[in-house]
Copies of this chain bind each other. A is one copy, B any other.
Amino acid sequence: MHLPDSTWTEAGALDTDLALLPVGSTEQHGPHAALGTDVATAEAVADAATDAYDGEVVVAPSIPVGVAEEHRQFPGTLWVSPDTFRSYVRETVAALAHHGWDRVVVVNGHGGNVPALGEVCATISRRDAAYAVPFTWFEGVGDHREEMGHGGPLETALLRHAAPDLVREGRIEEAATEAAERWGEWVSRVNLAVDSAEFTENGVVGDPREGSKERGEELLALASAALVELLSAIEGRDLAPPERR
């Protein structure tokens, strides 16, 4: 059940402890993919999994601005500090849990959110009256994930399938030819770059031409299946803490 579209009486009639909280980012995704890509993809995966899951799942509204300062040189990129992002997620999850939806998957569409989500979900699970884990959709697509990039084949594919209005088809070629091959600037497995503009001219990493609509359909199927499996595991999970050694 998509919370923003429901009334409180409808929400109150639910019998579940599962909720999804989509989180994205408003940030550059190259000249061909819209700034809202990470919200659109997170929502697409959350919606598909909710439909596929055999049981009720609450879907909270999407959090649209995340940890994305690394793209600050590109116009339109928005960001908040990791502290503020964690607080916003933590308190929203607490409100969900207040209504009994206390097993929450944060469905994430942006790589830059990953460390902050890991931290805040651990905090929630240890301190608050809720259990939360983060699920980043492109981690749940099998071997495709190795081609993730940024505005690259995976995101372009998923958008073409799930939100085609967010893709500027006429700029795919340009996006591809100026793209970087790899995220970051690495020495001894340490990324020396502070911002993405240090290693990509147009904000793209990877080849968006490899992101067909058909591939997008497959990605959505894979990611939503992974999320469904996660929901099943969480629903039945014993949350009692382990004993002191």
Contact = CB atoms under 8 A, between A and B. Distances in A.
Interface of A: 3-12, 14, 26, 28-36, 39-40, 60-65, 69-70, 72-84, 87-88, 91-92, 95-96, 98-99, 115-116, 118-119, 122, 125-126, 133-135, 139-140, 165-166, 168, 171, 187-192, 194-195, 197-198, 202-203, 226-227, 229-230, 233-234, 237, 241-245
Q: Which applies to chain A's interface (DSSP): helix, strand, loop or mixed?
A: mixed
Number of copies: 6
A166 B116 CA distance: 33
Contacts of A234: 192
A106 to B, nearest CB: 10
A88 B88 contact: yes
A187 B245 CA distance: 25
Contacts of A126: 69, 194
A187 B230 contact: yes
13 contacts: A4-B26, A4-B64, A8-B30, A12-B76, A63-B65, A73-B241, A78-B95, A83-B83, A83-B87, A84-B91, A115-B118, A122-B194, A140-B188
Contacts of A80: 87-88, 91-92, 95
B8 A227 contact: no
A224 B81 CA distance: 32
